[in-house]
Amino acid sequence: MKPEEKRKLLKEEMKRTGGILRLAPCWVTRTTLPAGRRMKLDVRDLYPRGLKAGPVCERWFASTGMADNGETTGPDEGLSFIVCRTENGVEKIKLKEAVELIGGEILGEKIMNERGKMTFFAKFYDFSVPINHHVHLMEEQAALVGVAQKPEAYYYPVELNAYDYRAGYTYFGLDPHLTKKELKAYLEKWDCEDNGILELSRAYKLKLGTGWDVPAGILHAPGSLVTYEPQYMSDCSIFMQNLNNDLAADDFMLWDKVPADKKGDWDYLISCLDWEANTDLDFKEHHYHEPVPAGDVGAMEEKGYYEEWIVYGSKEFCAKRLVVKPGASVTIQDEEAYGFIMMQGNGTIDGLPIETPACIRYEQLTCDEYFVSEPAARRGVTIANPSDNSDIVMLKHFGYPGKQF
């Protein structure tokens, strides 16, 4: 389909839906660790591109950026597609292309004038073991290898975490009294033995319904809970833990995002860390987040809904959790465009179906994920819950700082 044909179809879809775009599920495989199998993907489709590409461990929401799995990266892996209705059924167009073609109508002219693209997305990740202690590049180091920085945040949804694989804890940062020389001695064990880097960190028990703010430059070894992760549009990591559950990390995971003249330079790797943030004595106080009501609680409950901030503190993104009570119909306004994923219940949003499937085939289209354009968000969308017993629950991610606490 030619660009002008796509532009025409997108404008027709925006008019038909009032600016609410249905998205197809976007599954991402990983070769690093075993899958947790809790994201509702049919287990028959766990290895959709074969064993070498690894199992599906993530689902990305409203993404305009590719996943980076090295040589095993699949075509368009990580890119979200808009599902447009046509006379002959449906046509899928990349969200990235849509933003390039009619970005002002989707994200708003202000964001397009300032950024020229979409810089935020969210995802679920689901592993049956903790992830290796790793860091995401800060802006300066990211620029040296032609990628974007990767600040992120975590929220642990109760709806997907009936089982935690007995590893519901995350290591963050480094011991406040650690020296760079001591850390280097551990890193230099990479090719010889378990480098034991977790001995230098601190673990925190994870609590469902809460989360953490994780700016770029902070070491972390996320626990085995299904995690909702709003973040900046990037997929770059440096793994600093070489052995995890008897699985050895490939050298690619250590040196891939390092300039060619710095490969093998342990001091350069340490410079990729925000040392002050990693060794913060009050790390939990500065990064742990309990949810905060997004309005007057009494007024919200009287109207039949409840909304709370679940991700805040970042300059790049934020997120909310919205609950619409049985039998209620509420109109919700927001400042900016956002993507959302359904967690519970069924109903409609401005007359369009929203559903929470129990099992999804790999290429199946669903009605559990949408992107609400800036005009629609500001106008307000009406969410109706026809059930007499079940809440509608959705998670919403935005590309602006949101409320600061």
- Residue 261 near residue 155 (C-beta atoms within 8 A): no
Q: How far is CA 357 from the centre of its chain?
A: 20
Q: At what angle do helices 95-106 and 3-17 cross, to 10 degrees?
A: 60
Q: How many residues does the chain have?
A: 405
Q: List the CATH number of the domain containing 224.
A: 2.60.120.10
Say what the pLDDT of residue 405 is: 79
DSSP-based three-state secondary structure for 51? helix
Radius of gyration of the chain from Cα atoms? 21
Residue 321: left (phi > 0), alpha (psi -120 to 50), or beta? beta
Q: Are residues 47 and 133 in the same domain?
A: yes
* pLDDT band at residue 402 using 50, 70 and 90 as cut-offs: confident
Q: Are residues 143 and 228 in the same domain?
A: yes
Q: What is the pLDDT of residues 347-388, one digit of tens each?
A: 999 999 999 999 999 999 999 999 999 999 999 999 999 999
Domain boundary among 236, 263, 289: 289
Q: Are residues 93 and 231 in the same domain?
A: yes
CA distances from 192 to 162, 189, 399 (A): 38, 5, 43
How many of the other CB atoms lie within 10 Å of CB of 27? 24
Q: How far is CA 230 from the centre of its chain?
A: 4
* pLDDT band at residue 230 using 50, 70 and 90 as cut-offs: very high
Closest alpha carbon to 212 in 301, 142, 310: 310
Domain boundary among 230, 261, 289: 289
Phi, psi of 52 (to 5 degrees): -65, -30
CA distances from 236 to 151, 249, 253 (A): 10, 15, 9
Does residue 58 fall inside a structural domain?
Answer: yes
Residues 162-169 have a mean pLDDT of 97
Q: What is the pLDDT of residues 84-126, one digit of tens each?
A: 999 999 999 999 999 999 999 999 999 999 999 999 999 999 9
Q: Tokens for 48?
A: 């959709």
Q: Are residues 346 and 220 in the same domain?
A: no
- Residue 122 near residue 231 (C-beta atoms within 8 A): yes
* pLDDT band at residue 394 using 50, 70 and 90 as cut-offs: very high
Q: Are residues 211 and 310 in the same domain?
A: no
Q: How many domains does the chain have?
A: 2
The domain in which residue 323 lies consists of: 292-398
Does residue 299 fall inside a structural domain?
Answer: yes
Does residue 256 fall inside a structural domain?
Answer: yes
Give the position of tokens 């106080």: 285
Say what the pLDDT of residue 43 is: 98
Q: What is the pLDDT of residues 171-205, one digit of tens each?
A: 999 999 999 999 999 999 999 999 999 999 999 99
Residues 154-163 have a mean pLDDT of 98
Q: Are residues 335 and 358 in the same domain?
A: yes
Closest alpha carbon to 239 in 135, 109, 112, 369: 135
Q: Are residues 372 and 330 in the same domain?
A: yes
Say what the pLDDT of residue 326 is: 98
| Strand 120-125 to 56-61 pairing | antiparallel
Does residue 404 fall inside a structural domain?
Answer: no
DSSP assignment, residue 250?
P
The residue type found at 161 is N
Q: Are residues 217 and 309 in the same domain?
A: no
| Strand 20-22 to 369-372 pairing | antiparallel
Longest dimension (CA), the chain: 66
Beta strands in 98-201 (DSSP E): 120-125, 134-135, 152-155, 169-172
How many helices (H) does the chain have, and how many strands (E)?
11, 27
Does residue 405 fall inside a structural domain?
Answer: no
Q: Tokens for 362?
A: 């790999």
Rounded Cα distance between 357 and 127, Å, is: 21
Q: Are residues 67 and 214 in the same domain?
A: yes
Q: Tokens for 238?
A: 């440096």
Q: Are residues 304 and 246 in the same domain?
A: no
Does residue 24 fall inside a structural domain?
Answer: yes
Does residue 26 fall inside a structural domain?
Answer: yes
Contact partners, residue 330, CB within 8 Å, separation at least 6: 303, 304, 305, 324, 382, 383
CA distances from 365 to 26, 40, 211 (A): 10, 13, 29
CA distances from 227 to 32, 39, 49, 152 (A): 17, 10, 24, 11
Residues 293-304 have a mean pLDDT of 98
Phi, psi of 28 (to 5 degrees): -130, 130
Q: Are residues 155 and 186 in the same domain?
A: yes
Rounded Cα distance between 276 and 307, Å, is: 34
Does residue 280 fall inside a structural domain?
Answer: yes
Q: What is the pLDDT of residues 203-216, one digit of tens each?
A: 999 999 999 999 99
Lay out the sheet containing 238-239: strands in order across: 202-205, 169-172, 220-221, 134-135, 238-239
CA distances from 363 to 22, 24, 127, 360 (A): 15, 8, 21, 8
Residues 54-62 have a mean pLDDT of 98
| Strand 318-324 to 120-125 pairing | unpaired
Q: Are residues 133 and 269 in the same domain?
A: yes
Domain boundary among 251, 273, 289: 289
CA distances from 86 to 1, 10, 90, 91, 105 (A): 13, 11, 5, 7, 20
Q: What is the pLDDT of residues 241-266, one digit of tens each?
A: 999 999 999 999 999 999 999 999 99
Closest alpha carbon to 217 in 142, 283, 313, 284: 142
